Amino acid sequence: MKSIAAVAATVSTLLALAACDSNTSPIAESGLDAGAASPETAASGRSAYTPTNLGTFDSYSEAQAINASGAVAGFSNVSDGVFHAALWAGGTARDLGTLGGANSFGFAISPSGSVVGASETATGAQHAFIVSGSAMTDLGMLPGDVSSEARAINARGQVVGSSTSPDGTSRAFLWQDGEMTELVSLGGRETVARGINGRGQVVGYSSDLNGVRHAVRWERGQVTDLGALGGSESFAHGINDAGVIVGQINTPESFYGFVLSKGQVTRIEPLPGGSYTAAYSVNNAGEVVGRSDNGADEHAFIWQSGTTVDLGVLPGGSFSRAFGISDRGQVVGYSFVPEGGARATVWSR
């Protein structure tokens, strides 16, 4: 499980990369600033998606998830090195605050608009949270652990994520009705939960007795090993209500996204010129989003009916990633902008 410090360090790296962008086209940062884009697709001409800049509280933001109403969860910096969970809805951005510490990050949103993520407390510890209405509620952690984060939530209000022990070992959890329960492993010590569907099926990954990590599905207290799926390790990131699972397979040479449906594994091919993909979310239409390189930069993609489509970037940008997709087909993630940093982005068709 990545700590808030690790997430902030990743953001700092991305900021440094963005500072190297020599493009100069300006992008407004207030409101919902749409930008025209014309990225090439992998096989079918031009993308039908247009990116919209959601703006930022300061100079950096990322969108992580979107619901069918178009409400978006993510985070933005509020000053140098300080990040707060954010909710974009109805044309406005709301700072969700923290559990008393400096930083917080929003990672998922329910159909009704509840946001879950991780926040520092007044003691500096990292705790999973849920925001329903105006209040941020601390979800706690598993017994004996020192930190936690929430990564997904469904319409029932069931929340999944990971809790971390003093030695840094992650344990997957399911939180419901005010109680946090550990999810069983494949025999190894590490488990991580990343997605949950409306039926309560949970996906993530677990280490086995040999320490090898495999994608897994949890249902009714039981764990199913999905295997290495043709690679050396595998990781499940998302699941839709039909049970279609997406994630990432590692090989000795590279890594690539996968779709697992009715026992069949489909590899998501990279954009033209690229060598890797990773898939993060799938909607109930079976559309998948993630990231791929194209031989020069990394771009957000949507995978539809076997085709990997380049979603492109905000005007003047060169780098983007997609993390979530709604059942209406709206995609969220972030794109670098010329003036520096990344901006939370929605791609709409």
User: Could you tell me the pLDDT band of residue 2, with boundaries at 50, 70 and 90?
Assistant: low
CA-to-CA distance for 193 and 170, rounded, in angstroms? 10
Per-residue exposure over 11-29, b if at least 16 CB sit within 10 Å of its own CB, e if not? beebbeebeebeeeeebeb
17, 318 in Cβ contact below 8 A? no
More confident residue, 25 or 129: 129
CA-to-CA distance for 42 and 26, rounded, in angstroms? 28
What's the whole-number average pLDDT of the chain?
Answer: 90
More confident residue, 19 or 3: 3
Angle, vertex CA 313, rays to CA 310 and CA 316, nearest 5 = 140
Helix (H) or strand (E) segment spanning residue 335: strand 331-336
What's the token pair of residue 212?
A: 């090898």
User: Could you tell me the pLDDT band of residue 306, with boundaries at 50, 70 and 90?
Assistant: very high
Looking at 33-37, 115-119, 173-177, 344-348, which range is the least confident one?
33-37
Q: What is the pLDDT of residues 101-113, one digit of tens each?
A: 999 999 999 999 9
Q: Say yes or no to pLDDT of 347 above 90.
A: yes
User: Could you tell me the pLDDT band of residue 7, with boundaries at 50, 70 and 90?
Assistant: low
CA-to-CA distance for 265 and 24, rounded, in angstroms? 42
pTM above 0.75, yes or no: yes
Average pLDDT over residues 306-323: 96
Q: What is the CB-side half-sphere exposure of residue 299 using CA atoms within 13 A?
A: 31
Looking at 35-49, 62-76, 137-151, 290-304, which range is the least confident one?
35-49
User: Could you tell me the pLDDT band of residue 22, with boundaries at 50, 70 and 90?
Assistant: very low
Burial of 281 per CB tally in 10 Å (0-12, 13-18, 19+): buried
Burial of 32 per CB tally in 10 Å (0-12, 13-18, 19+): middle
What's the first-to-final CA gap in the chain, in angstroms?
34
What pLDDT was estimated at residue 80?
83
**Using only C-alpha atoms, what is the Rg of the chain?**
19
Q: Say yes or no to pLDDT of 168 above 80.
A: yes
Burial of 245 per CB tally in 10 Å (0-12, 13-18, 19+): buried
CA-to-CA distance for 28 and 54, rounded, in angstroms? 10
36, 47 in Cβ contact below 8 A? no
Q: Say yes or no to pLDDT of 10 above 70.
A: no
Average pLDDT over residues 189-195: 98
What pLDDT was estimated at residue 289?
98
Burial of 262 per CB tally in 10 Å (0-12, 13-18, 19+): exposed
What pLDDT was estimated at residue 24?
24
What pLDDT was estimated at residue 1?
58
Q: What is the pLDDT of residues 232-270, one digit of tens each?
A: 999 999 999 999 999 999 999 999 999 999 999 999 999
Q: Say yes or no to pLDDT of 37 above 70.
A: no
Average pLDDT over residues 215-237: 97
What pLDDT was estimated at residue 46?
52
